[in-house]
Structure 1
Amino acid sequence: MATLKALSVAAVGVALIVDGTAKTAAAATFSDAPLFNDVASYSTTISANNDLADIYYPNPSNLKTGNYSFPVALLLQGANVDKSDYSKYASIVARYGFVVVVPNHPRSLPQFGFTGLLPETSQINAVLAQMEAENSNPASPVAGVINTQKLGLLGHSAGGAVGLSAIANLCLSPIQCEGSFSRPNELVAGAFFGANLRNQNGAFFLPINNSRIPIALLQGTRDSRALPINAEKTYEQIQTPPKALISILGANHYGITNTNNPAGPITDPNTPTIPQSVAVETVARWSGLFLRASVLDDKAAFDYVYDTGDALDPNVSVVSQAKPIPEASCTLGLVVLSACGALLGLKKPK
């Protein structure tokens, strides 16, 4: 991993030289810390499907008078992972300026012998409708502070697969989708941990026609349930940038949850080599900054995700593509090619 990080530092160095001293100064002054110190939460019921949900939101002292408009971030859970197990992650993401909705979605799929918590695409429109109602309800803690026109998806494991299929505007019945699904216009980004997208029997990876909706795949390097190689193959199937594959060094499949292996019999036998609290903070920070870059067009956050953050964070390794590759290619040798890749917003695989 030291070699990977060394390559990353070199790539960032090329980008900084190309972009000039202004970018160097911006990287030196940018803080990757959350924008809000305080976060609050409450529980409600999603009217469309009766799901219980926890809602986390920034809670500055001037919340009701400060003219805030926070986009929605829907967290789609992993199989049989309770919503409470994501409280630390959701709280950190909310502090980056989002109203984070974490539902429990019970389902029964007798044909697969499954009864328990499992996400599906219908939750997306159900939560959008609920947040519109919350925003217009004077009794709601988040009344008047939600931007209901902007939705970012978060997801873990099975929830990440559902989020990927939703961005691809697919209805993968019956596990991820029942009936039909049409991607809402409000959906503008997705960041998913421990997730990949394959066909029903797992035989091949599905093309993700994301229509330029930015996608980040966050992946623990010690994940034995959703293998890192499968995240890499899914990343390759994302048809249009921006896209990023953010590897969390030493994290296993549950690096996003409050504790390791919270889902009963569904466990990851690989012991993480990174402290759980560090893994959760790292996954949440990169998720929050990715959403800020993608949903709020935050240029400093964009630069962090696609350029400088890899070298600054010892716990990650990033492969990313920020812009489409022009048809004309650079062919002037390895050094020039590296600089050309930086100009195009393409970071070399490690």
Structure 2
Amino acid sequence: MAILKALSLASTSAVLIIGGIGKIAKAEISNPAPLFKYVDTYSTKISANNDIADIYFPKSLGNKIGKRSFPIALLLQGANVDKSNYSNFARIVASYGFVVVVPNHQVNRPKVGTGLFADTSQIEAVLAQMKLENKNPNSPVTNIINTEKLGLLGHSLGGAVGLSAIANLCLPFLCQGSFSRPRELLAGAFFGANLRNQTTQKFIPINNSNIKVALLQGTIDSIALPFRAQATYEQIQDPPKTLINILGANHYGITNTNNPTGAKADKNVPILDQNTSIETIGRWSGLFLRATILNDKFALNYIYSTGDSLDTNVTVTNQTKKYTKEFSPANNCSPLFR
């Protein structure tokens, strides 16, 4: 098998890359295990828009969580990808200590008709619903949700919606009416996503106001092309920011099966085993949210330091600080970066 990690390292433009060489393989045991072995699920209706959503949440043995509370992670779906296709991924993220909400947002859009299309209105709708769920004594997640902390997850179109929300933008097709970024929004991790003007194809600056962002990208994605993830990464204004390339994954490395029914097909056959791909994307997404929302030191170390060398299925680009350009007193033509 080709040494994809070595090739990716050779071709990646990076601010900081830490890593080694390895073949595509299943995640090694040196990668961190989830915090919670058991994850439960139920479905509910989002009152504000009537979306049906699946909720995934950590469950301790004997159903006793104690005094723990878990941030919300809203997963914004890809175009015409049913919520059921994300169940394996959602369970993995939940196992790292999150209440993961996966709605089906069916709407009618001009020129394209009715379909499953994420948009920014879901963010406030889900926040409001989870506050209700947290107070409802009959809800499976009563009193275990930290409703003051929200992370976004997204796939394809849903990732573009999440990026636009973090940039506090209301863009055509991604936003209906108006949008204001909620204070609870702290981070986002998006797979197979980029943000660009659909008319000019120019990439849109993402003024993320210190909201942390990770882009996860399959290296053989024929729908959301890898160079677009790199270009979007460069448009994220405030670090820390992360670009995680999943070696041998295509556009549907996050879904239970490749090319789910109803969605646009990726012509490239994935090289990376589907279950390994889901586990890899879920683990990096969950740990990224732990690092950035909960300031988990172990997760921070994994995302920004050790994870690339431990996981043979990824290459990672990180920028943790802003670069400021100054001029040396001795030679005002020599830029210094720090």
**Do they superpose with TM above 0.5?**
yes
CA–CA distance in structure 2, aligned partners of residues 301 and 75 of structure 1: 20
1:211 lines up with 2:229 in the alignment: no
1:316 matched residue in structure 2: 314
CA–CA distance in structure 1, aligned partners of residues 200 and 132 of structure 2: 38
Q: Shift of residue 68 of structure 1?
A: 0.8
CA–CA distance in structure 2, aligned partners of residues 11 and 249 of structure 1: 15
2:152 matched residue in structure 1: 153
3-state secondary structure, aligned to 2:188: strand
Going from structure 1 to structure 2, the CA distance change for 1:187 and 1:329 (only over 3 Å counts) comes to: farther
Q: Shift of residue 30 of structure 1?
A: 8.0
- The one-letter code of the counterpart of 1:275 is D
Among 3, 6, 16, the alignment partner of 2:6 is 3
3-state secondary structure, aligned to 2:315: strand
Q: Which runs of 5+ in 1 are unaligned?
A: 14-28, 331-339, 345-350
1:22 matched residue in structure 2: none
CA–CA distance in structure 1, aligned partners of residues 65 and 30 of structure 2: 27
- The one-letter code of the counterpart of 2:180 is S
1:293 matched residue in structure 2: 291
- The one-letter code of the counterpart of 1:116 is G
CA–CA distance in structure 2, aligned partners of residues 329 and 267 of structure 1: 50
CA–CA distance in structure 1, aligned partners of residues 230 and 277 of structure 2: 20
Q: Shift of residue 146 of structure 1?
A: 0.3
Q: Which runs of 5+ in 2 are unaligned?
A: 20-28, 329-335
1:233 lines up with 2:231 in the alignment: yes
Does the CA contact (< 8 Å) of 1:55 and 1:101 recur in 2? yes
Q: Percent identity?
A: 63
Going from structure 1 to structure 2, the CA distance change for 1:182 and 1:230 (only over 3 Å counts) comes to: same
CA–CA distance in structure 2, aligned partners of residues 146 and 125 of structure 1: 16
Spell out, residue by residue over 1:75-108, the C-alpha distance to the aligned partner (whole angstroms, 9 max, x if none): 0000000000000000000000000000000011
Q: What's the Cα RMSD here?
A: 2.3
- The one-letter code of the counterpart of 1:93 is V
Q: Shift of residue 117 of structure 1?
A: 0.3
CA–CA distance in structure 2, aligned partners of residues 151 and 86 of structure 1: 19
Q: Shift of residue 201 of structure 1?
A: 2.0
Does the CA contact (< 8 Å) of 1:154 and 1:191 recur in 2? yes
Does the CA contact (< 8 Å) of 2:38 and 2:60 recur in 1? yes
- The one-letter code of the counterpart of 1:169 is N
Does the CA contact (< 8 Å) of 1:38 and 1:60 recur in 2? yes
CA–CA distance in structure 1, aligned partners of residues 159 and 7 of structure 2: 26
Q: Which moved more, 1:123-132 or 1:54-63?
A: 54-63
- The one-letter code of the counterpart of 1:232 is Q
| 1:243-282 equivalence runs, <5 A | 243-264=241-262, 266-282=264-280
2:76 matched residue in structure 1: 76
3-state secondary structure, aligned to 2:233: helix
Spell out, residue by residue over 1:279-338, the C-alpha distance to the aligned partner (whole angstroms, 9 max, x if none): 0000000000000001100121111111111111000001111122344599xxxxxxxx
Going from structure 1 to structure 2, the CA distance change for 1:263 and 1:320 (only over 3 Å counts) comes to: farther
Greater per-residue helix proportion: 1
Does the CA contact (< 8 Å) of 2:9 and 2:315 recur in 1? no
3-state secondary structure, aligned to 2:210: coil
Going from structure 1 to structure 2, the CA distance change for 1:309 and 1:207 (only over 3 Å counts) comes to: same
Q: Shift of residue 189 of structure 1?
A: 0.1
3-state secondary structure, aligned to 1:112: coil
2:170 matched residue in structure 1: 171
1:134 matched residue in structure 2: 133
Going from structure 1 to structure 2, the CA distance change for 1:289 and 1:71 (only over 3 Å counts) comes to: same
1:99 matched residue in structure 2: 99
Going from structure 1 to structure 2, the CA distance change for 1:76 and 1:202 (only over 3 Å counts) comes to: farther
Q: Shift of residue 235 of structure 1?
A: 0.3
Number of aligned residues: 316
- The one-letter code of the counterpart of 1:102 is V
- The one-letter code of the counterpart of 1:137 is N
| 1:323-342 equivalence runs, <5 A | 323-327=321-325
Spell out, residue by residue over 1:197-255, the C-alpha distance to the aligned partner (whole angstroms, 9 max, x if none): 01132521000000011100000001000000000000000001010010000000000
Does the CA contact (< 8 Å) of 2:127 and 2:147 recur in 1? yes
- The one-letter code of the counterpart of 1:281 is E
Does the CA contact (< 8 Å) of 2:75 and 2:154 recur in 1? yes
Does the CA contact (< 8 Å) of 1:5 and 1:311 recur in 2? no
CA–CA distance in structure 1, aligned partners of residues 87 and 37 of structure 2: 16
CA–CA distance in structure 2, aligned partners of residues 238 and 278 of structure 1: 28
Does the CA contact (< 8 Å) of 1:79 and 1:263 recur in 2? no
2:85 matched residue in structure 1: 85
3-state secondary structure, aligned to 1:141: coil
Q: Shift of residue 2 of structure 1?
A: 4.1
TM-score (norm. length: structure 2): 0.88
